[in-house]
Amino acid sequence: MIRLENIVKHYALGNNIVKALDGVSLVIERNEFISIMGPSGSGKSTLLHILGCLDTATSGSYYLEDVDISHLSDKEIARIRNQHFGFVFQAYNLLPELTALENVELPMIYKRTPTKERRQKAEYLLEKVELTHRLTHYPSQLSGGEQQRVAIARALANDPTLILADEPTGNLPSEHGEEIMEMLCQLNEEGTTLIVVTHDPKVGSYAKKLIRLRDGKIVYEDNITERFSSEYVSNIATQTV
Ligand SMILES: Nc1ncnc2c1ncn2[C@@H]1O[C@H](COP(=O)(O)OP(=O)(O)OP(=O)(O)O)[C@@H](O)[C@H]1O
Ligand SMILES: [Mg+2]
């Protein structure tokens, strides 16, 4: 589905260059469930942004279904992003002036889905995340967990083939975190590809594949189909390589 070849992402800061990603090569197959772990500053969010075509690499190649996307226009990339990718990012917050329902409708407005159809779909998705009783609430009137569930419903609006999540359970009480992970697992079982960045070994243990980054490089990659134990994930997440 996605192939990265030797992706480098540098940021120039005065005379310094920060190597946020330093030669990352990675293949993501359809229906994978990958957890990206590693210390703060190791490049996890940068990698997720590049995978989601929200940012471009300094060098290296990105192939989506064997097409090198660096040759596509910004408009075409935006179209791919809106039609195929769903984002659950903290920086990609809900719009405060829109209700829960309107926030979920938004990606479908961009896609020009007819009004009635998009309203029904938004209601259906909010029902799926158990928020039927909060349709007309604004984000400030929702708890953190509820906001995150709205963000998941919004990420699902255009039936994405790939969901990218950055700390999807961050700052949530553990019972809500588990709920959200169960929901993501369910989607993965239904065929959605998932890439989740997390610090939390419990969250990482839901994945089928673990990737550990350090200093902008992949230092560990393991593909096991059994669910990892959180102790195992914790060891991988914290070991010094
Ligand atoms: N816009 C930017 N300009 C300069 N440096 C940046 C920029 N964005 C990120 N960096 C640097 O790139 C490195 C990787 O950042 P990134 O956000 O990918 O880390 P991370 O692994 O997601 O960390 P965290 O776990 O704290 O979220 C960090 O050292 C960061 O300071
Ligand atoms: Mg980050």
List pLDDT tens digits, range 198-237: 988 888 889 999 999 999 999 988 876 566 777 877 877 7
Number of structural domains (the chain) is 1
Task: Please report which residue ranges of 85-137 form alpha helices under DSSP H.
Answer: 100-110, 115-128
Residue 14 within any structural domain of the chain: no
pLDDT at residue 47 greater than cutoff 90:
yes
Its domain, for residue 188, covers 30-60+72-238
Q: Please report the pLDDT score of residue 9 as a whole number.
A: 97
The domain that holds 131 is classified in CATH as: 3.40.50.300
Residue 107 within any structural domain of the chain: yes
Q: Please report the pLDDT score of residue 225 as a whole number.
A: 59
Top-confidence residue, 210 or 70: 210
- Write down the residue that tokens 């610090």 correspond to: 199
Measured from the alpha carbon of residue 42, the closest ligand is 1
Q: Is residue 195 a contact partner of residue 1, using CB atoms and an 8 Å limit? A: no
CB of 42 closer than 6 angstroms to any ligand 1 atom: yes
Residue 7 within any structural domain of the chain: no
Q: What share of the chain is helix, strand, coil (3-state, %, to 5)?
A: 40, 25, 35
**Ligand 1 closest atom vs CA 13:** 4
User: What mean pLDDT, rounded, does the chain reach?
Assistant: 90
Residue 9 within any structural domain of the chain: no
With the most atoms of ligand 1 within 8 angstroms of its CB, the residue from 45, 198, 203 to mutate is 45
